[in-house]
Structures are given as structure tokens and as C-alpha cells.
Amino acid sequence: MVYHAIHRKWPRTKPVWVVIPLELFGLVPILVLFGISQPDAWRTKLWEIGYNYQFNSNPLMTLYAYANYEPLPTVPFVWSQMYVL
């Protein structure tokens, strides 16, 4: 005898197989359109929260700019690579 945690035959599987492709063909384009229209809606805010909890770097630093394809922040002359002893 084989043990089954939940031994139940689902009575209606045909409607499920009809709804799954409809949901897929409707939901994926909607998610893509929202993702294209608002690429940086939450990324910067989540990065700031991660910095506050010490999970990642400061969003005002160079690493954030490289990761999110933004212009590099201005670095003080003392910390730049041009100043060499």
C-alpha cells in the first residue's frame, strides 16, 4: 500500500486546463508592459532600504550607478584616482 498525504481525485480538471493558458496569455503581457513602463519604480527605494539594513551598498555610491546604468556620481578630488602620491 502506498501512502498519500492527500488522497483525493480532483473532480474537474478540464476547466483548469482551459483557464491556465488564458491566464498565461493575459498575465505575461500585462507584467511586461508594466515592467517596461516603470523600470525604476521601486528599485532605488528597495536599494535604499537594503542600505539602511546593511544588506547592500549605498545608493549614492558608484556601485549603484554601475548596477543600474546611471551616470556616475561626482567623487571628491581627494578620493579620485587622479590624486596619487
pLDDT of 15 higher than 80? yes
pLDDT of 83 higher than 60? no
Looking at residue 65, what is its pLDDT?
Answer: 77
Looking at residue 5, what is its pLDDT?
Answer: 74
DSSP, residue by residue, 17-81: HHHHHHHHHHHHHHHHHHHHH-TTSSHHHHHHHHHHTTSS--TTSHHHHHHTT-PPPP--GGGST
| pLDDT single digits (tens) 31-73 | 888 877 777 777 778 878 888 888 876 767 777 777 778 787 7
pLDDT of 77 higher than 80? no
Looking at residue 24, what is its pLDDT?
Answer: 92
Q: Which residue has the higher pLDDT, 16 or 74?
A: 16
The model's pTM is 0.39
Residue extents of the structural domains in the chain: 14-79
